[in-house]
C-alpha cells in the first residue's frame, strides 16, 4: 500500500489474460473437434489419440489460469459483497494491490501450470512426429522421428520431477516470500530457462528435419505448399516459444510477481493452443475439401483414405 500512499496509480491488465485465453482456447478446441469428426469417417491413428490428450491438458491449463484470475473475484464477492465493484484479479495486477493472504495464488498457478505445460508440449511434439512417420517414407526421417519421440518421453519425465520437487517443502515455492529461510529451493529460474531452451531446440529440430524430404514426395506443387503452410505455423510456434523464454527471463528478475507473470501466462497459452492448431491442420484441410470441394479440389488426391496419408504420395 506504500505505492498507493505516494500516488502511484495501480495497474491492472488481467482482463487481457481472460480475452487471450478465451480466444485461443476456443480456436484450438474448434479445430480439435473437427479433427475428431473427420477421423470418425476415415479412421483413427496414433497421433489422433495423442492430440485428444493434448487438448485435455491445454484445457486444464486454461481452466487453472481462469480459476486463478477469478479466484479473488469469487471469494471476495462472497466475503465482502459490499465492495463488489472494487474487486480486482490477481495475475496481471500490481502485487502491492493484492491482499497479503492472496499473494500465494499467482505463484500456485505458475507452479501448477508449468507442470502441465511441460507434459502437453511434449505430447504435441509426439503427435507431429507420428504424423512424420506416416507421411515421410525416407529412412532418415523415420529414424529421426523415433529418436525424437524417445526424447519427448525422457525430457518431460526428467523436468517434471525437477519442477515438482524444486523446493523443500513443495509449498515453499509459493510461501517463501512470507517465510524466508524456512525451506530451500534449487535455482528455479535456471531450471525453467533450461527447460524452455531445450523445448525451443526440439521445436527447431522437428521443424527442419523433414524439409529436404518434402521435395521427394510425389505431390503437386499445390499440395507441397499446403504442407509448407503447416511448417509455417510450426515456425510461428517456435517464435512464440522464444518470446515465452524472454518473458520467463524478465519474470525471473521481477519483484512485482503478479504483474510480471501475465506475459508468461499469455505466451504459454498461445504456444500450447497454436501447437494444437498446427497438428489439426491436415484434418482441417479434409474438412474444407468436403465442405467446399470446389475451393480445395485436388487433381491428384482423393478423399478416400486421405487422413491415413494426409497428403497422398501417389
For 27-51, the pLDDT digits (tens) are 877 887 777 777 666 555 555 555 5
- The full DSSP string for 235-254 is HHHHHHHHHHHHHHHHHHT-
User: What is the three-class DSSP state of 39?
Assistant: helix
Lowest mean pLDDT of 17-21, 70-74, 133-137, 164-168, name the range: 70-74
Task: Give the pLDDT mean for 192-209.
Answer: 89
State residue 157 phi and psi, 5-degree precision. Answer: -60, -45
pLDDT at 5: 44
How many other CB atoms are there within 10 angstroms of residue 126's CB atom? 24
Lowest mean pLDDT of 12-26, 71-85, 112-126, 136-150, name the range: 71-85
User: Is 76 exposed, middle or buried (CB count within 10 Å of its CB: 0-12, 13-18, 19+)?
Assistant: middle
pLDDT at 54: 54
Task: Give the pLDDT mean for 5-14.
Answer: 66
Lowest mean pLDDT of 17-21, 65-69, 101-105, 213-217, name the range: 65-69
Lowest mean pLDDT of 4-13, 55-64, 169-178, 252-261, name the range: 55-64
Task: State the pLDDT confidence band at 96, using cuts at 50, 70 and 90.
Answer: confident
pLDDT at 228: 83
Peptide bond into 169 cis (omega under 30): yes
| pLDDT tens, position by position, 60-74 | 544 444 443 333 333
pLDDT at 89: 44
Cα–Cα distance measured from residue 90 to residue 302, given in angstroms and rounded to the nearest whole number: 52
Instruction: Answer with the residue of higher pLDDT: 89 or 278.
Output: 278
pLDDT at 45: 54
Looking at the chain, the whole-number percentage of residues with pLDDT higher than 70 is: 74
287 Cβ partners below 8 Å, 6+ apart?
Answer: 34, 37, 38
Task: Give the pLDDT mean for 104-127.
Answer: 81
Query: Buried b / exposed e across 37-59, counting CB within 10 Å, b at 16+?
Result: ebbeebeebebbebbbebbebbb
Cα–Cα distance measured from residue 23 to residue 20, given in angstroms and rounded to the nearest whole number: 5
| pLDDT tens, position by position, 258-282 | 788 888 888 888 888 888 888 888 7
Residue 97 has pLDDT above 90, yes or no: no
Instruction: Answer with the residue of higher pLDDT: 309 or 29.
Output: 29
pLDDT at 8: 63
How many other CB atoms are there within 10 angstroms of residue 133's CB atom? 17
State residue 283 phi and psi, 5-degree precision. Answer: -65, -35
Looking at the chain, the whole-number percentage of residues with pLDDT higher than 90 is: 10
What are the structural domains of the chain? 7-282 (1.20.1070)
Task: Give the pLDDT mean for 51-62.
Answer: 53
pTM over 0.85: no
Amino acid at each position: 500500500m506504500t505505492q498507493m500512499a505516494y500516488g502511484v496509480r495501480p495497474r491492472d491488465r488481467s482482463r487481457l489474460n481472460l480475452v487471450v485465453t478465451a480466444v485461443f482456447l476456443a480456436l484450438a478446441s474448434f479445430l480439435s473437434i473437427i479433427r475428431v469428426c473427420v477421423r470418425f469417417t476415415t479412421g483413427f491413428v496414433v497421433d489422433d489419440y495423442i492430440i485428444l490428450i493434448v487438448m485435455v491438458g491445454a484445457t486444464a491449463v486454461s481452466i487453472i489460469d481462469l480459476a486463478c484470475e477469478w479466484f479473488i473475484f469469487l471469494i471476495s464477492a462472497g466475503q465482502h459483497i459490499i465492495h463488489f465493484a472494487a474487486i480486482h484479479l490477481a495475475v496481471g495486477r500490481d502485487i502491492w494491490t493484492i491482499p497479503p493472504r492472496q499473494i500465494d495464488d499467482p505463484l500456485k498457478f505458475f507452479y501448477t501450470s508449468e507442470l502441465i505445460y511441460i507434459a502437453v508440449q511434449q505430447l504435441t511434439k509426439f503427435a507431429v512426429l507420428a504424423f512424420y512417420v506416416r507421411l515421410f517414407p525416407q529412412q532418415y526421417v523415420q529414424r529421426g522421428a523415433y529418436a525424437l519421440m524417445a526424447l519427448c518421453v525422457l525430457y518431460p519425465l526428467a523436468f517434471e520431477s525437477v519442477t515438482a520437487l524444486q523446493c523443500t517443502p513443495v509449498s515453499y515455492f509459493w510461501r517463501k516470500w512470507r517465510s524466508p529461510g524456512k525451506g530451500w529451493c534449487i535455482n528455479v529460474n535456471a531450471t525453467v530457462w533450461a527447460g524452455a531452451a531445450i523445448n525451443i531446440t526440439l521445436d527447431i529440430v522437428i521443424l527442419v528435419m523433414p524439409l529436404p524430404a518434402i521435395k521427394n514426395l510425389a505431390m503437386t506443387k499445390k499440395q507441397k505448399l499446403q504442407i509448407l503452410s503447416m511448417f509455417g505455423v510450426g515456425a510461428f510456434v517456435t517464435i512464440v516459444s522464444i518470446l515465452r523464454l524472454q518473458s520467463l527471463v524478465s519474470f525471473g528478475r521481477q519483484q512485482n510477481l503478479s504483474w510480471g507473470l501475465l506475459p508468461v501466462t499469455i505466451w504459454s497459452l498461445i504456444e500450447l493452443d497454436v501447437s494444437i492448431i498446427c497438428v489439426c491442420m491436415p484434418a482441417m484441410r479434409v474438412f474444407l475439401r468436403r465442405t467446399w470441394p470446389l475451393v480445395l479440389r485436388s487433381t491428384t488426391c482423393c478423399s478416400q483414405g486421405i487422413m491415413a496419408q494426409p497428403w497422398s504420395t501417389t
